[in-house]
Amino acid sequence: MGTNPSFFIEMLHFLKERKAWWLVPIIIMLLLVGILVIFGQSSALSPFIYALF
């Protein structure tokens, strides 16, 4: 399994070959929203995250 590149490296190669750099901000925003959802469910940071919205 050492010869398979990771998902992120494979995604970067895809974006580079297809010249789809416009997808990078969308992917970053989706990751940030996903992180907010995970931390917002059950953590001590929940009241602070809810205050942002």
Q: Where are the domains of the chain?
A: 21-53
47 pLDDT more than 60: yes
Whether 40 has a pLDDT exceeding 80, the answer reads: no
pLDDT at 35: 86
Q: How confident is the model at residue 30 (pLDDT cuts 50, 70, 90)?
A: very high
Give the confidence band of 2 by pLDDT, cuts at 50, 70, 90: low
Contacts 24+ apart (CB under 8 A), 33-41: none
Residue at token pair 């929203």: 33
Predicted confidence at residue 41, as pLDDT, reads 76
Q: Is the pLDDT of residue 10 over 80?
A: yes
Q: What Rg do the C-alpha atoms of the chain give, in angstroms?
A: 16
